[in-house]
Amino acid sequence: MTEPVSFGCQMFVLAAALLFVAMAIATTEALRALVSLMALAVSFLWIVRIWTWKSISNGDRYTALALALIFFVAALLSVFAHGRVWLRDREALSTGSRTSGL
């Protein structure tokens, strides 16, 4: 991987990794869902940046896209998982029913 591509990927991988760490220490499902959504947005921007990069070899493009897609899929799964739990908890609060913490 050439140096400019490596630096470009580092810029996004650092932001995505920090968001996943923030998600790990978040205290509520709503906050986890929000941080997951932010990680999804960063991953999407990373994919767009690599896809539109003109002076990049095909090998570097596919390697960088693979890295970006790994983070994108992880963030997408996290958005669905935490968003679903958050919405279920929110609905339980509005109806007055209780859910077990298990």
Q: Residue 33 pLDDT > 80, yes or no?
A: yes
Average pLDDT over residues 66-83: 92
Please give the mean pLDDT across all residues of the chain.
87
Instruction: Please give the model's pTM, rounded to 2 decimal places.
Output: 0.80
Residue 82 scores a pLDDT above 90: yes
Share of the chain above pLDDT 70, in %: 94
Higher pLDDT, 96 or 50: 50
Strand, helix or coil at 26? Answer: coil
Which pLDDT value is given to residue 65? 92
Give the pLDDT of residue 97: 62
Angle at 51 between CA 48 and CA 55, to 5 degrees: 125
